[in-house]
Structures are given as C-alpha cells and as structure tokens.
Amino acid sequence: MRVNPSLTARLRIGFGVLFALLLAVSLLGVGRLFQIRVNYEDEITRYFQLELESERLRAAFILEQASARPAIPQQKPSRAELDRAATSFADAVSRARGFAGSDAGVNVRVDQLASAESAWRRSVGEALLRGNLPPPAGERRRTSAVTTAGDALSNSARNGRDAAQDEARDDTRNTTILVAAGLIGGLLAALILFTGLINSMRAPLGRLVEGARRLAGGDLKTRVEVGGPVEIATLGNAFNEMANSLERDARERDRVERMKDDFVLTVSHELRTPVTVVKGFAEMLTEQRKSLNSTQYEAVEVIAESATQLQKMINDLLDLARSDAGKLRIEPEPTSVRSLARRVGRQMRPHFEERDQRFTVSVEKDLPDVEADPDRISQVLANLLMNANKYAPEGSEVRLAATRVREEVEFAVSDEGPGLGEEELEHVFDRFWRAESGETQSVGGTGLGLAIAKSLVELHGGAITANSVPGEGATFRFVLPIAKDGRPRRATRGRTKAGAAG
C-alpha cells in the first residue's frame, strides 16, 4: 500500500513551480535582451563619436600645419593660430578620451596621437614659428607619426564599433537560445509532471473500476489494493469499507436464511413422529367402527383426516425447506410417460369421482422416455391435478396431455375452472399463495403444492408455466428432457404405492 501526496497538493505545487519557472525565464530573457539592445546603442554611439573626434583631430592637425606653414607664401606663420588649433586638438583629445572610456586599445591610440602631435609641435611647429626650417627628414617623420596615429585611432574606433556589433549579435542570439531552452524545459517539466500525475492515478483507478465490476458481479470477497494520490487512496478505502459492509450483510443474511432452513427442517422432522402416532391410532379406531357410536366415529374420522392433512403439510414444508437448503435430491432415470400417467391416474381417480369430474389422459403415440425421478414427477402431476380437481366445478373435464416438443416432452394439465387473472398468474407459484376468487375460497390444501412442483421441475432441468383465460380455465405446462437412451422401458418401479393418498 503506497499512498502518494494528495492530488490537490501536487497540482498546486506543480503549477506553482511551473509558473515561477516560466515567469523567471521570460522576464530574465526579455530584460537581458533589452539590456543588450541598450548597451549596443551606447557602444555604437560612443564609437561614432570617437570616429567623429578622430576626424576633428585630423582637421585640427591640418590647421596646426597650416598655421605653422601657410600655403600662401605672403602669409606668415602665426603663433596665435597655431595655439588655437592646438587647443582645439587638445579639446578633441580630451573628448576622445571620454568616449574611449575603458577601451584600452583606443586609449593607447589616443595617447600615441597626443604625444605624436606634441612631439611635432615641439620640434616642427616651434622651429617654423621661429622661422627656422626643420630638417625635411625629421619633419616628414614627425608629421607622418601624427597622421599614422590618427589613422590608427580611426581604425580602432571602427574596429571597436564592429566588435560591439558582433558582440551584441552574439549576445542576442545566445540569450534567445537560452530563453527558448528555458521555455522548452519548462514545458517538458510540465509534461513529465502531468504524465506522472496521470500514471499515479491510472493504476489505482483501474483497480477500482475492476473491483467495482467484480463486486457488481457478485464476488463479495473483492477488495482493492489501496494506493495512488491521497484522494484516490481514500476512494479505495471507502470502496473496501463498502465491500466489507456488503459482505457482512450478505453473510448475516445467509446465516439467517440457514437458521430459518434448519429451523423449518428440524420442526417438520420433529412434528412427524407425533403426527404419525395420531394418524396411526385414529386410523386404527376408524377400522373398529362397530365398537364406536356415531359421534365417536365421526370424531375419530375427523382426527384421522386432519392428521393426514397435517402430515401432507409437513411433508410439503420439508420438501421446500430441503429445496431451499439445496438438500432436495432427485434420482432421475429413463421413465415411461405412459406409466407415469397411469400411476397418477390411479391415484387421482377417487378424487375426480368424488367431484363427478371427467378425467381424460392423452399421451402422444411413440413418445420416448423422459429423464425423470418417477416418484417426484408423479408428485408434480398429482399436485397439478389436485389443483384442477379442487378449483374446477363439478361435472367439468380435467385433461392431462403429454406431447413431444423438440428434445423435450411437454406435460399439460388443463381444467375448466374459473381460471386466473394476469396478476394471479404472477404469484401462482409463490408459497402459501391461493386463488381467492369467490366460490373457490373454501378450497383446502397447503398452498405449497405449486411451489414444490416448480422446485421439482426445475431440479429436473425443466420449466413450468401457467396460462389462463379467466372464466374458461387454466393450463399448467412443464417440460422434461428426453432420456438419453429414449427406448421404451419397463413400467416404473413404484417405490411408494400409489392410491394410498387421501
């Protein structure tokens, strides 16, 4: 049993971390890009200014040269002009220094230019102002030193600008890659997080679904393995509690059912001995009619009749209790339908004669044997016929018919009694149920006959049904399987002699 943190907590933490991560990546990325852009603009501007200054320096130097040696022969070198030009040169140098900032290469170039210019002014400029001609080689060297230094400054400013451009481009690219990587990473993390979450739920949820199906299918021992996020684990625990309670209830119900069955079995069993004795003695007395007066004889007759009825009821109850407890057993054997009909007919004849009813039997020609317990199927037929005998009016007809229907034999018992309504048909096989329409109210019987008939037929693997047209009569049909070796057989061996009932 492995319980993970709750779903809510995990979702909250997951979303929080993910949100913070994506926010940080976006803000840092955008900030960095902005900063790169601003830096780039500053640098570019600085190097442009620097280039501008280097042009000014060049111009100032040309002015210096022109003041020391005027192009027009009539003009004289002027100290004042030279000084002005030198000042503007020095201003440009100091501005260039400012623009150079921390760029060491540019600073060196500015220094070199400044020192080359002051060297030129000291040796060439001063000499010209004084009217001396400096040695041509020296002048050329000093002058070219200044021009070279000026070119170098221009170049390094241009190079600096290019470098700043390259650097900005690289930085922008790197930052963009980093931000993209960060976003992709975040999305991957989200994917992993949610997949994990779903997986952690899938197995325990699957177990719950399967458990619920098994439970619904009637397997009350079903329990699920508890696991997954807290919410699902709680659901699993609740499921198991429910299953426990269901199983407990079912067990309790079974126990009560068993107790009831045992009770009915025991009671019926215990009742049999005294009933046997009462019946036996009462019957004995009825046989001694001569020694009894008419009142005594009547009393003994009623006692014997009641004891017989009680015994029948006890037997019926016992059969039903056995059937409920799964202890009702049958011994099916290939049984001749004709002999079954004969046996039941013999048993029932006195009852039909008593009510002046015609009893007709029709058994289809060449009917194969059925796989049946002869005693039990006789009991079923007797119950159905007894019912017809009781409910049908005097002088009417009761029919027993047996026909082949595919691989089964159908038995049908029909009467011309009052029949049953639709609602009555639903309950006709219920225990202790009795039709209670008007004139038939006085009918006796245990109310168990049809319930037993149903149990017995079903025990044979058959089915029993009731049909009726109210006012015209009722028909009870049941089917029994044909015996495997459907050959005609000897007459059924009567384990209990027929004709004794009643």
Partner 1 sequence: MTRLLVADDSETVLLMLQRRLEMEGYDVVTASDGFEALERLREAGAKEPDVILLDAMMPNMSGTEVLERLRESGSKIPVLMISAHLDAQEPDRMRSLGASDCIPKPFEWEELIGKIEELADGKDSGVE
Quick one: which segment of 350-358, 389-397, 434-442, 494-502 binds partner 1 (CB under 8 A)?
A: 494-502
Residue 266 binds to partner 1 (criterion: CB under 8 A): no
Q: How many residues bind partner 1 (CB under 8 A)?
A: 25
Q: How far is the CB of 397 from partner 1 (least distance, A)?
A: 29
Interhelix angle 79-100/7-68, nearest 10 degrees: 170
Q: How far is the CB of 377 from partner 1 (least distance, A)?
A: 13
Q: How far is the CB of 268 from partner 1 (least distance, A)?
A: 11
Quick one: which segment of 96-104, 180-188, 326-334, 409-417 binds partner 1 (CB under 8 A)?
A: 326-334
Q: Which of 169, 329, 346, 427 binds partner 1 (CB under 8 A)?
A: 329
Residue 349 binds to partner 1 (criterion: CB under 8 A): no
Residue 496 binds to partner 1 (criterion: CB under 8 A): yes
Our CB check for partner 1 shows the closer of 1 and 500 to be 500
Residue 108 binds to partner 1 (criterion: CB under 8 A): no
Residue 350 binds to partner 1 (criterion: CB under 8 A): no
Q: How far is the CB of 328 from partner 1 (least distance, A)?
A: 9
Residue 248 binds to partner 1 (criterion: CB under 8 A): no
Inter-residue contact 474 to 419 (CB < 8 Å) = yes
Backbone angles phi, psi at 5, to 5 degrees: -55, 160
Q: Which of 275, 413, 456, 483 binds partner 1 (CB under 8 A)?
A: 275
What is the dihedral sign for C-alpha 450, 456, 459, 461?
negative
Cβ neighbours of 175 (radius 10 Å):
18
Number of Cα atoms under 13 Å in the Cβ half of residue 126: 7
Q: How far is the CB of 276 from partner 1 (least distance, A)?
A: 4
Residue 194 binds to partner 1 (criterion: CB under 8 A): no
Q: How far is the CB of 283 from partner 1 (least distance, A)?
A: 6
Our CB check for partner 1 shows the closer of 74 and 273 to be 273
Task: Report angle CA 361, 367, 369 to the nearest 5 degrees.
Answer: 105
Residue 305 binds to partner 1 (criterion: CB under 8 A): no
Nearest to 68 by CA among 59, 54, 78: 78
Residue 311 binds to partner 1 (criterion: CB under 8 A): yes
Spatial separation of the C-alpha atoms in residues 115 and 112, rounded to whole Å: 5
Residue 291 binds to partner 1 (criterion: CB under 8 A): no
Our CB check for partner 1 shows the closer of 272 and 342 to be 272
For the chain, state the CA radius of gyration. Answer: 61
Between the alpha carbon of residue 408 and those of residues 374, 450, 451, 478, the distances in Å are: 16, 21, 22, 10
Paired with 498 in beta bridges are: none
Spatial separation of the C-alpha atoms in residues 341 and 377, rounded to whole Å: 10
Q: How far is the CB of 331 from partner 1 (least distance, A)?
A: 4
Q: Which residues contact 275 (CB under 8 A, 6 or more apart)?
A: 307, 310, 311, 314
Q: How far is the CB of 443 from partner 1 (least distance, A)?
A: 24
Quick one: which segment of 172-180, 213-221, 405-413, 492-500 binds partner 1 (CB under 8 A)?
A: 492-500
Write the interaction track for partner 1 spanning residues 373-412; mark x where CB under 8 A is met and - where it is not: x---------------------------------------
Backbone angles phi, psi at 448, to 5 degrees: -110, -15
Which residues in the 358-377 window bind partner 1 by CB under 8 A? 373
The DSSP H or E segment spanning 495 is: none
Q: How far is the CB of 255 from partner 1 (least distance, A)?
A: 25
Quick one: which segment of 79-87, 193-201, 325-333, 400-408 binds partner 1 (CB under 8 A)?
A: 325-333
Residue 219 binds to partner 1 (criterion: CB under 8 A): no
Q: Which two tokens stand for residue 471?
A: 């006012």
Edge-first strand order for the sheet with 408-414 is: 358-363, 397-405, 408-414, 473-481, 463-469
Quick one: which segment of 32-40, 278-286, 357-365, 480-488 binds partner 1 (CB under 8 A)?
A: 278-286
Residue 281 binds to partner 1 (criterion: CB under 8 A): yes
Quick one: which segment of 154-162, 241-249, 283-291, 395-403 binds partner 1 (CB under 8 A)?
A: 283-291
Residue 501 binds to partner 1 (criterion: CB under 8 A): yes
The DSSP letter of residue 103 is -
Spatial separation of the C-alpha atoms in residues 382 and 204, rounded to whole Å: 59
Per DSSP, the residues of 160-195 read HHHHHHHHHHHHHHHHHHHHHHHHHHHHHHHHHHHH
Inter-residue contact 118 to 87 (CB < 8 Å) = no
Quick one: which segment of 20-28, 206-214, 277-285, 392-400 binds partner 1 (CB under 8 A)?
A: 277-285
Q: Which of 300, 318, 402, 435 binds partner 1 (CB under 8 A)?
A: 318
Spatial separation of the C-alpha atoms in residues 244 and 234, rounded to whole Å: 15
The runs of H, that is alpha helices, within 69-130 are: 79-100, 104-120, 126-129
Residue 309 binds to partner 1 (criterion: CB under 8 A): no
The residue whose two tokens read 């009761």 is: 398
Q: How far is the CB of 454 from partner 1 (least distance, A)?
A: 19
Contact set with partner 1 (CB under 8 A)? 269, 272-277, 279-281, 283-284, 287, 311, 315, 318, 329-331, 373, 495-497, 500-501
